[in-house]
Amino acid sequence: MDRQESLKLNMNEYLPLRDVVFNTLRRAILTGNIRPGERLMEVQLSQMLGVSRTPIREAIRKLELEGLVETLPRRGAQVAKISEKSLKDVLEVRRALDVLIAELACIRISEEQLMDLQNAQTQFEMAVKQASDKDIDTAEIAKADVEFHNIIMEATGNERLISLVNNLAEQMYRYRFVYLKDQNIHEKLILEHKDIYEAIRNRDVERAKEAAAIHIDNQEKEIIEHIRSECEEG
């Protein structure tokens, strides 16, 4: 429970307390502050967050419905582990969508959006390179990564496609954090982003589609290796 000691409520006057607690725990799980397999004990969480056990209990129930928490016999609620099946299900859909996004972006992206994409590529590279060995700011790298891909997505001009991708965004966020924490893949990520950017800049549809597919395939490979290594350690 050590990582949970830093939990703080992000109060919002427009949201009831139960939703604030839910959002706080959800974000902690998605960012890896509370790791897969860690128990969610109502008494400790209520003390940490300074609230009663009722909103904690309600939040855990909602997190269970989302698949982020599971309740086990004689153990209680714990953060659900990332399974290979759930990972493949999400990335299978995201791969198909990203290939389509790359194709449409090549055709429809404006010169202004190309400039934004180049800047986003630069910002991503800076975020990766500025991360120190001892204190990697994964949140900043993830933010820059999301911005890069969002520009490409918006360039498609397809609202239905954008909606589909946004529906997967939160599920992807959890996997993205696992992936981006690994310093060993940072340089490769920079090169993959460059390949995608250059293909779109040159409006090379086939190259852009291939680069987008490789980007997702590499994520799947690296995260599966991470899942398997955690299982061996456990």
- Kindly report, residue by residue over 74-126, the tens digit of the pLDDT: 889 999 888 888 889 989 999 999 999 999 999 999 999 999 999 999 999 99
Stated as kind and residue range, the H or E segment containing 71 is strand 69-72
- Give whole-number Cα distances, 100 to 120, 196, 201, in Å: 20, 13, 16
Higher local confidence (pLDDT), 1 or 102? 102
Q: Residues of the chain with pLDDT > 90: what percent?
A: 55
The predicted structure's pLDDT at residue 119? 98
pTM for the predicted model, two decimal places: 0.80
Give residue 134's pLDDT band: very low, low, confident or very high (50, 70, 90). very low
Round to whole Å and give the CA distance between 108 and 115: 14
- Give whole-number Cα distances, 233 to 220, 229, 230, in Å: 20, 6, 5
Q: Is the pLDDT of residue 31 over 80?
A: no
Give residue 1's pLDDT band: very low, low, confident or very high (50, 70, 90). very low
Round to whole Å and give the CA distance between 145 and 123: 9
Half-sphere exposure of 38 (CA within 13 A, CB side): 18
- Give whole-number Cα distances, 202 to 97, 103, 141, in Å: 21, 12, 26
Q: Is the pLDDT of residue 4 over 60?
A: no
Asked which of 38-47, 129-138, 164-173 is least confident by mean pLDDT, the reply is 129-138
Stated as kind and residue range, the H or E segment containing 79 is strand 76-79
